[in-house]
Structure 1
């Protein structure tokens, strides 16, 4: 048995970004640990979800534990920082937020967990945080440094295949993709949102189609953030499987060798 640690910025990020490899690694008998930098205090709250006086941080804490259960996660930890909000918001400047955290200090907090667990592999985000969110960018910085401090031999930068998303949107719009989105549901524009990276920069890919049910259950645990009309949940099952059935990475170290919890789950990728 090996140990996979997935480091994320906020509750619900794990469901979208690495839910598939987490579920598959856990199903293969490996230990999976989830670490969140913040409790997502500044997420957009779905109307009518919170009870009177209930704090969003407490609700999201409970939600991420339910999500972790759906994915087979053995341990959930928080680094204790506050959600920074979206890039450019005034909250970015608050000294207690994750965006303003000293990278070395935060990396030491994470490295303690990595060392306790004897982590064999760690996931973070790419250096752009997938789409430019300050907390996601900080996850990359902190996670990469923590991996160095703890001597983690394998690191995966989770990201989005911008090229594949663009192809899928073009097929959907042309009607040639074999699926349609519900009326009123519009796909994101990868270029406008600066999503992910072109596929020539990717090194590894995971076919997680066998875990899309677990990913959907994980998303459904986050009801304070994800309503029934959320972009992902509004997708027909076939579209959800197509979009969420693959996870993309930039890998460092022998990611899929004999000692990795990701062996047989993550494979090398070369752009066509």
Structure 2
């Protein structure tokens, strides 16, 4: 007899990634998602907004379709490229860049009540019952309001999902490990210098930019996990290319020389913020040491 999703959650390692907009999942965690799915792990993606404030950066012909509807189709294509079959929208509106007028839209994710948004996500956590949850860090990687909110909502949702007294549908569920995706400052610096040396435009600053002036990145010593996704880079690339309105054919993400592509995308980095620390740092598997509810070790 086929097992229910609730039964699967007891034994199958389950990953849930929370991302603010369509395309963030492919850029930030595409390799992890593809690898996890290919290895038989259950993978679920939550997208917090519809990307309403995005622009048709590639200037593609949308026909009679509006951009939000088109981005929904792009996301579906990207998830298919990654092998991800389970997805949910959290139901908020894109807040736009920091300081933009869209920040004040009453339906924006930025303005959403924290506990209300967290209850929505906690209900998904209780239904999906993931062992590992991944989101942006507290700085929202590069400061976008929706990325910051995705972090705070995820932190609170993990708390509510485990709280027997919380006003959240479903049986309580304790997420074993919560991570944030990140990129170490030295890796970012190496990429910047390699782009400059190759006479390519770097999105991280001018040729004379100093390491301490990089726009984002975390100190190397806080990285706790490095996941090798080189085998799954073609899937990640296909997923990014599926977001045609946001990532044009001539974009930075799709046109790095092969050596730089491997350097920047073959390893995805993460920071463990909640859960048992691993004796091995950096970890090479986010599921290492996790046991299912019946006591069976599901990974590591």
Q: Which residue of 2 aligns with 1:188?
A: 204
Would the aligned equivalents of 2:58 and 2:247 in 1 still touch at CA under 8 Å? no
> Structure 2 length as normaliser, TM-score?
0.80
Per-residue deviation, 1:171: 4.3
Q: Which residue of 2 aligns with 1:269?
A: none
Deviates further, 90-99 or 247-256: 247-256
Cα–Cα, structure 1 residues 215 and 262, in superposed 2: closer, same or farther, change >3 Å? Answer: farther
Residue 239 (structure 2) pairs with residue 223 (structure 1): no
Q: Which of these two proteins has the greater Rg computed from alpha carbons?
A: 2
Q: Which residue of 1 aligns with 2:186?
A: 163
Residue 268 (structure 2) pairs with residue 236 (structure 1): no
Per-residue deviation, 1:111: 0.9
Residue 123 (structure 2) pairs with residue 112 (structure 1): yes
Q: Name stretches of at least 5 consecutive residues in structure 1 with no aligned partner.
A: 265-272
2:106 to 73, 91, 95: 95
Q: Which residue of 2 aligns with 1:257?
A: 289
1:34 to 20, 45, 53: 45
Deviations 1:48-69 (A, max 9, x none): 4142442111111111111111
Q: Which residue of 1 aligns with 2:79?
A: 68
Q: Which residue of 2 aligns with 1:270?
A: none
Q: Across the two proteins, how many residue pairs are aligned to each other?
A: 257
Per-residue deviation, 1:262: 9.6
- 1:18 and 1:263 mapped to 2: Cα distance? 19
Q: Name stretches of at least 5 consecutive residues in structure 2 with no aligned partner.
A: 1-11, 162-173, 206-210, 277-285
Deviations 1:81-115 (A, max 9, x none): 00000111111111210011111110110111111
Per-residue deviation, 1:169: 2.3
Cα–Cα, structure 1 residues 118 and 243, in superposed 2: closer, same or farther, change >3 Å? Answer: same
- 1:40 and 1:61 mapped to 2: Cα distance? 9
- 1:262 and 1:225 mapped to 2: Cα distance? 37
- 2:298 and 2:190 mapped to 1: Cα distance? 27
Q: Secondary structure at the match of 1:130?
A: helix
Per-residue deviation, 1:170: 2.6
1:20 to 6, 25, 31: 31
